[in-house]
Amino acid sequence: MQWDLEGLHVQALYIGTFKCTGRVFLSRVKYGGRVSHHVALDSPIEVYGAVRHSVVVDHEQVTRVFSNVQGA
């Protein structure tokens, strides 16, 4: 899997626990060489009492990458 997922629709685990899906609007290499993705969620999730509309996930937490086709 490539590291730059900008524009792609993904399924991931936020902080290793909360399943989420959405579109990656930024992929970046962090200090130390690890990759993170900023994801605009398809629908908000509640995380420990706070509602999230976007999340940052580590590359290792991405479980599936969908095509660019809307609704795929």
Distance CA 60, CA 6 (A): 16
Residue 38 has a pLDDT of 98
Amino acid at 64: R
* Rounded average pLDDT over 28-48: 96
Residue 2 has a pLDDT of 86
Does the pTM surpass 0.85? The reply is yes
Output the CA torsion sign for 46, 49, 52, 56: negative
* Rounded average pLDDT over 47-67: 95
CB 36 within 8 A of CB 57: yes
* Sheet containing 35-47: order of strands: 50-58, 35-47, 18-29, 9-14, 62-65
